[in-house]
Structure 1
Amino acid sequence: MKKLDIKDLGKFRLLGGLDVYKNKTAFTVAEISLEKDDYFSKIYLYDGRKVKPFTSGPKDSNPKFSPDGKLIAFTSKRDKESKEAELYLIPTTGGEARLLRKFKFGISDYEFSPDGKQLVVIAPVEIERRKKKDEDVHLIKEIPFWFNGIGWIYGKRSHIFLVNLESGRKRKLTKGKLNVQTLKWSSSGDKIYFIAEENKEKEPMISDLFVLDLKSRKIEKLTESKWRISDFVVLDETTFILRMSTLERGIPTNTHIYLFNAETKEIKKLTAELDRSAYNSLNCDVRGKSRNPLIYKDGWVYYIATDGPRANLFRVNLEGKIERVIGGDRSVETFGIGSYLVFIAQDATTPTELYVFRDGKERKVSDFNGWIKEYKLSKPEHFKVKASDGVEIDAWIMKPLDFKEGKKYPAILEIHGGPKTAYGYSFMHEFHVLTAKGFVVIFSNPRGSDGYGEEFADIREHYGERDYQDLMEVVDEALKRFDFIDEERIGVTGGSYGGFMTNWIVGHTKRFKAAVTQRSISNWVSFFGTTDIGYFFAPDQIGKDPWSNLDGYWEKSPLKYAPNVETPLLIIHSIEDYRCWLPEALQFYTALKYLGKEVELALFPGENHDLSRSGKPKHRVKRLELIAGWMERWLKG
């Protein structure tokens, strides 16, 4: 059988963007073209019998059915000369798609009206003049001024537009500094409910539920600016299902499902029995863009939750009874409910596919990634690590494909980002590439990870402490259990929080013989003032701000420990990474070079924080080549 190669990245098909009407399912399938260095996508339709292509592409995505099921709306970029986002309509029976409207700065979301005659669209707009047409100077008056993957966002907000399906005419319904995130129509069609941020500068973690009366054009805020609400379901004019975080533990607070009364302002946590985040936080580098649905049907609220190393589909009723609907060692990506339940899922050795759950039976109905069956893959082997404080840590090991008993192999410790994400039963192309090249791969969910409850996830003000110990104890346990690991040839790598931890590790131990840090943090002070989330993420995670806690910020900065570094380090960073901006890489590289350490720096132009997941295909290939090459140089050479 074949070994999975770096350039096999171009074979993956990424499924996502699913919507359901009765027995019909529309979804997006994206492909990665190494030849054209781009991504291309089409919409496919499953009619209850077979899957078939529905649109021609090349950039079609995010399909949604009209209320009567006769139309499908979708977003696209078919006009090669235009930078605007395009909204199309196409009959469900097929035919030519009709361009309904273009939006200059993109489309965040949209919904059909109950009568199917209008669409309500969320789109970014300029709320104040940013600069003159021929001017290249940025005059900035607010924070955040840029955002990862988008670029400059100052002076922009996402607002609601009403678009007529016949004429394509649009009417702006909201204004000012409201930043709208998601919305729903009332069943009568005379109101629009929406989630928005009122003040991203002063209250960046707060979002509220609002209602817009279409006749009077009046907007009323229904919540009290205490929570971060991400989605909702309208039960009636006063009763709502909210998916939200109360922020009691700051960012580590789990997102739960609540019942909310808009008159009394009372909330009831429906998912109190399951201390898990109501979304999928598993890491994967070959997944499609998907919605995170919240669906109310027959007295049950259906939602995805991360439960340890799994992302499963659950449902909860209004009394708080929770049931697991779609379980297993896998990652449910998205779902929809029509005549039956449809979902997209993957696992550690199977990329994304479409599945149907009907009459208690599950069936895979697509085979976009069937080519993977021709490849020999290393299946992750799970083991538990009892940490020194008694808490159990989930960990996995993947043997190299050429494994032979009695032989010693170099190993690589992989550390996930977040920190409130998780590794588990999802496909990681990177891991399979490394095992194909003869490495053992070790990965785990240390303290700070999602899926194990709020207390487990809460490492605020304690970065580099218990989380660092957990990782070292995972390596210790792996060496005890698996005698084929060469303890003299272990490397470490990670991105984002995993990059921070890689930087921290090389400044605190010499046990690793090679390291690759990616999209990392090296200095919490500079991170606070230069990144899109730094001004609220750093105070939440490190404590207070740099003026109140300079010693704490510096104490937790890997840059402080640069003189201790003895491990050869490769720094990989994207030039347009606004989540962990370029200075994080530059100052760590400069410090290590100045101190005479073994270090190299690889910078990727035009890329952002998501290089490993959605960067240009050729850059993604180069990144993997750099990681594998560095590890081969120092662990095999």
Structure 2
Amino acid sequence: MNKQVSALEDYRLIEELSGGEYLADAGLFVWCRTAWDEQLQAGRSSILLKNLASGEEQMLTAGGTTETSPRFRPDGKSVSFLSNAEGGMQIWCTSLETGECRKITAVPGGVTSPLWSPDGRMMSFLSSPVKPPAPTYIDELYPAGTVKPVVIEDFGYKFDGAGFIQPGHTQLHTVDVETGEIICLTQGNWDALHPAWSPDGQELVYLSGQERGKEEALALDLFMVPARGGSSRRISSRDWAVSYPNPVNPVFTPDGKWVIMAFMDSSMVQDPGFSAGYPLCRLHRVAVDGSEDVDIFQTTEECFDCVAFPYFGGTAGCQEKMQVSEDGRFVYFISGWKGQCNIYRAAVYGEPKVELLSGGEQNYRGIGKPQNGRMLVARSDFSQLGNYFLMDVETGETGEPLTSANDFIKDRAISRPETMVFDTLDGRGKVQGWIIPPQNRAEGKKYPAVLYIHGGPHPFCPFALEYQYQCLAGRGFAVIYCNFRGSSSYGKEHLDLKLAYDGTAAYDCLQAVDEAVRRYEWIDRERIGVTGGSYGGYLTTYLAEKTERFRACAAQRAVYSELMQYASSDMQGSSAGYKNFEEFMVNCLKNSVVAYAEDIHVPFLILHGEEDYRCPVEGAHQMFTALKECHPDLPVEMILWPRLNHDIPRDIREKTEYLEYLIRWFEKYL
């Protein structure tokens, strides 16, 4: 008997797990679960505590609808978490002995990233101090209570998902959990990010670009600051510490003498012949006094990067992606390799040595602090959306999952992706891809297929269950996707960004379609569609213009105009390297897919958020107008989503509507 097919309504059943933490000595496990609440008609985030011996679970709450980031107090007697119970995300703490829940902070604007000090007397957190800006002439023109214009004087004045950046930066604070006294440890026209406590609790390390120019947008260094206040000092000496878009938190060795951190490979940043948008990253051991900065990473055949950037990855994650072993000899980290998100360990001292701890057709999304020979891991694969496990730090073996999220998957006709690897047409490499058959496929029947192109292009599609793809399969489509050149996890040459824009990636995608059609006779080669978001939306449009392979197209949050990107995106462009500004502008026009709209001759759908600052919505307007003018009779639709940034909607109702538009487009025109 056929199982029930995946449907968009299933998104109301999906649980997302985050913030998992394990306390070995007490046999306790705490995590955050976010799920759709029918009564609230919104997502609700809750904190759950589990006794691993008895299996008993209980909810910890301050009464909020969004409660996240649980942390055990070091003595194991209480759990802290963030809650919006009284407006704004504040730190609350529940005693595991009495059940009393009390509020620790009341900071205007809320807080993020709470961490306990080793002795449990203090907590650190990040927050943007709300201070009245210095009076300007604008205040004289627009008195209190009136709407003031936005005054812009420099680059970096907006960011996707945040809008126009308000005065103030994220600063590092500590709070005494008994008295409530708060100390602001950093200040200035820069952000403090990714803090960690020293083992003795006397200092904190954090990332900041305070000694870098604004032209070095991704450049961050390690700084140390006394926990009770004082001057910060820079301890890293050369490369850029990793933050956006692959955040990694620094970790101390147990003796407190060193900080382990991931840094971008400076040789790639400085190599004029390499055009990767995001360099490979390496592990460094940095002395807390700043006297040494040692590269401890070993590039191996199966590990050439110390971070992973999966395009999707399941629904469970830990707060950390890097940990130091209990004896301080090794550092554990997650890295991408041929679509896998594996756990490796590297030697902290001596000759650089990297070993695989756990890998294969699965996707790790976080690791907890090693305790008594085990550490918490978050993992997904092709059969489940994501759960927590305890892993043996020597063997990499895991037992039964600690959680049982999204068990409804067992009752769905999930189509397992089938891997295909092919030699590229230019003979310069291989490309890995997957084909998802239609759910409950009938023998002897032909089915349409959709090529789904990932964004970035730096991310990669992992060995993980992507439910959007399964919903397409549930509606009778095959789904084809691949890690074309420009994707990460396949080495330096495969990663080169120029290959994503010179037609190479387009050929890889076309070859993936041809390979799928060759291997699976049930695919109707005359009914192939293409879609993708961000870079994937750009390449969808490019393929629609350059080929006649596809019968219908749907571009999501795409880049259509390089001229729009130059000034309207939150990642502004640069005219450096051109003879003059006119030549730069002409080149932007030539490289814009909107300039070739007259070459599109198949039904074309545009899906875009009205508040997208990464790929500005003006580009979507321009593409729609160009298509309608060049092809008055061609089926073209533009669907704009209010309040939506560079993403698909998070609200379940809006998400299902969004995906329904996408699927129905292909049902209509394939």
TM above 0.5: yes
Mapped contact 2:436–2:478 kept (Cα < 8 A): yes
1:183 aligns with 2:195: yes
Q: Which residue of 2 aligns with 1:114?
A: 118
> SS at the partner of 1:443?
strand
Tell me the distance in 1 between the aligned counterparts of 2:499 and 2:5.
43
Tell me the distance in 2 between the aligned counterparts of 1:446 and 1:135.
51
Change in Cα spacing, 1:290 to 1:600, as seen in structure 2 (3 Å) is farther
1:240 aligns with 2:262: no
Q: 1:423 aligns with which of 434, 447, 461?
A: 461
Tell me the distance in 1 between the aligned counterparts of 2:153 and 2:584.
26
Tell me the distance in 2 between the aligned counterparts of 1:15 and 1:43.
10
Mapped contact 2:277–2:497 kept (Cα < 8 A): no
- Report the AA paired with residue 259 of structure 1: R
Mapped contact 2:237–2:293 kept (Cα < 8 A): no
- Report the AA paired with residue 484 of structure 2: P
Percent identity over paired residues: 25
Tell me the distance in 1 between the aligned counterparts of 2:606 and 2:230.
52
Change in Cα spacing, 1:229 to 1:425, as seen in structure 2 (3 Å) is closer
Q: 1:76 aligns with which of 68, 80, 83?
A: 83
Change in Cα spacing, 1:127 to 1:487, as seen in structure 2 (3 Å) is farther
Q: Which residue of 1 aligns with 2:272?
A: none
Mapped contact 2:30–2:47 kept (Cα < 8 A): yes
Change in Cα spacing, 1:85 to 1:547, as seen in structure 2 (3 Å) is farther
Q: 1:564 aligns with which of 596, 599, 604?
A: 599
Q: Which residue of 1 aligns with 2:448?
A: 410
Change in Cα spacing, 1:307 to 1:341, as seen in structure 2 (3 Å) is same
- Report the AA paired with residue 325 of structure 1: L
1:352 aligns with 2:386: yes
Change in Cα spacing, 1:215 to 1:63, as seen in structure 2 (3 Å) is closer
- Report the AA paired with residue 374 of structure 1: D
> SS at the partner of 1:41?
strand
Q: Which residue of 1 aligns with 2:246?
A: none
Tell me the distance in 2 between the aligned counterparts of 1:608 and 1:375.
31
Tell me the distance in 2 between the aligned counterparts of 1:313 and 1:51.
30
> SS at the partner of 2:656?
helix
1:325 aligns with 2:343: no
Change in Cα spacing, 1:347 to 1:563, as seen in structure 2 (3 Å) is same
Query: How far off is 1:26 after superposition?
Result: 1.5
**Which stretch shows the higher mean deviation, 625-634 or 110-119?**
110-119
Tell me the distance in 1 between the aligned counterparts of 2:457 and 2:580.
20
Change in Cα spacing, 1:186 to 1:345, as seen in structure 2 (3 Å) is same
Tell me the distance in 2 between the aligned counterparts of 1:619 and 1:326.
38
Q: Which residue of 2 aligns with 1:147?
A: 159
List aligned pairs for 1:150-549, cutoff 5 A.
150-198=162-210, 201-214=214-227, 217-224=230-237, 226-230=239-243, 231-235=249-253, 239-247=258-266, 248-249=268-269, 251-261=277-287, 263-273=290-300, 274-284=302-312, 287-288=315-316, 290-297=318-325, 298=327, 299-318=329-348, 319-336=351-368, 337-339=370-372, 340-358=374-392, 360-390=397-427, 391-460=429-498, 463-535=501-573, 549=584
Give the aligned CA root-mean-square deviation in angstroms. 2.5
Tell me the distance in 2 between the aligned counterparts of 1:126 and 1:185.
25
Mapped contact 2:316–2:388 kept (Cα < 8 A): no
- Report the AA paired with residue 307 of structure 2: Y
- Report the AA paired with residue 425 of structure 2: S
CA displacement 1:407-429 (0-9 Å, x = unmatched): 22111000011111111211111
Q: How many residues align?
A: 627
Query: How far off is 1:362 after superposition?
Result: 2.3
Query: How far off is 1:102 after superposition?
Result: 2.9
**Which stretch shows the higher mean deviation, 267-276 or 56-65?**
267-276
> SS at the partner of 2:542?
helix
- Report the AA paired with residue 178 of structure 2: E
TM-score normalized with structure 2 length: 0.88
Tell me the distance in 2 between the aligned counterparts of 1:215 and 1:171.
7
Identify unmatched segments of 5+ residues in structure 1: none
Mapped contact 1:315–1:324 kept (Cα < 8 A): yes
Tell me the distance in 2 between the aligned counterparts of 1:225 and 1:550.
35
Tell me the distance in 1 between the aligned counterparts of 2:278 and 2:118.
37
**Which stretch shows the higher mean deviation, 496-505 or 84-93?**
84-93
> SS at the partner of 1:586?
helix
Mapped contact 1:464–1:501 kept (Cα < 8 A): no
Tell me the distance in 2 between the aligned counterparts of 1:197 and 1:338.
33
Tell me the distance in 2 between the aligned counterparts of 1:594 and 1:458.
36
- Report the AA paired with residue 386 of structure 1: D
> SS at the partner of 1:420?
coil
> SS at the partner of 1:102?
coil
CA displacement 1:358-404 (0-9 Å, x = unmatched): 47442222212112111111111111121112211111111112422
Tell me the distance in 1 between the aligned counterparts of 2:121 and 2:581.
53
Query: How far off is 1:129 after superposition?
Result: 1.9
Q: Which residue of 2 aligns with 1:11?
A: 13
Change in Cα spacing, 1:94 to 1:513, as seen in structure 2 (3 Å) is farther
Query: How far off is 1:351 after superposition?
Result: 1.2
Mapped contact 2:436–2:480 kept (Cα < 8 A): yes
Q: Which residue of 1 aligns with 2:585?
A: 550
Tell me the distance in 1 between the aligned counterparts of 2:240 and 2:498.
19
Mapped contact 1:16–1:334 kept (Cα < 8 A): no
Query: How far off is 1:548 after superposition?
Result: 6.4
Mapped contact 1:270–1:316 kept (Cα < 8 A): yes
Tell me the distance in 1 between the aligned counterparts of 2:356 and 2:111.
33
Tell me the distance in 2 between the aligned counterparts of 1:156 and 1:594.
45
Q: Which residue of 1 aligns with 2:60?
A: 55
Q: Which residue of 2 aligns with 1:134?
A: 145
Query: How far off is 1:68 after superposition?
Result: 1.7
- Report the AA paired with residue 284 of structure 2: Y
Mapped contact 1:275–1:452 kept (Cα < 8 A): no
- Report the AA paired with residue 209 of structure 2: E
Tell me the distance in 1 between the aligned counterparts of 2:221 and 2:530.
41
Mapped contact 1:507–1:564 kept (Cα < 8 A): yes
> SS at the partner of 2:44?
strand
Tell me the distance in 2 between the aligned counterparts of 1:192 and 1:565.
56
Mapped contact 1:571–1:589 kept (Cα < 8 A): yes
> SS at the partner of 1:259?
strand
- Report the AA paired with residue 589 of structure 1: F
**Which stretch shows the higher mean deviation, 438-447 or 340-349?**
340-349
**Which stretch shows the higher mean deviation, 445-454 or 214-223?**
214-223
> SS at the partner of 2:128?
strand
- Report the AA paired with residue 3 of structure 1: V
**Which stretch shows the higher mean deviation, 200-209 or 261-270?**
261-270
- Report the AA paired with residue 234 of structure 1: F
Mapped contact 1:252–1:458 kept (Cα < 8 A): no
**Which stretch shows the higher mean deviation, 362-371 or 617-626?**
362-371
Q: Which residue of 2 aligns with 1:626?
A: 661
Q: Which has the higher strand share?
A: 1
Tell me the distance in 1 between the aligned counterparts of 2:583 and 2:618.
23
- Report the AA paired with residue 565 of structure 1: I
> SS at the partner of 2:498?
coil
Change in Cα spacing, 1:52 to 1:123, as seen in structure 2 (3 Å) is same
Tell me the distance in 2 between the aligned counterparts of 1:213 and 1:547.
51
Q: 1:102 aligns with which of 100, 106, 110?
A: 106
Query: How far off is 1:491 after superposition?
Result: 0.2
Query: How far off is 1:210 after superposition?
Result: 0.7
Tell me the distance in 2 between the aligned counterparts of 1:437 and 1:206.
45
- Report the AA paired with residue 272 of structure 1: T
Tell me the distance in 2 between the aligned counterparts of 1:39 and 1:462.
36
Query: How far off is 1:5 after superposition?
Result: 0.6
Identify unmatched segments of 5+ residues in structure 2: 244-248, 270-275
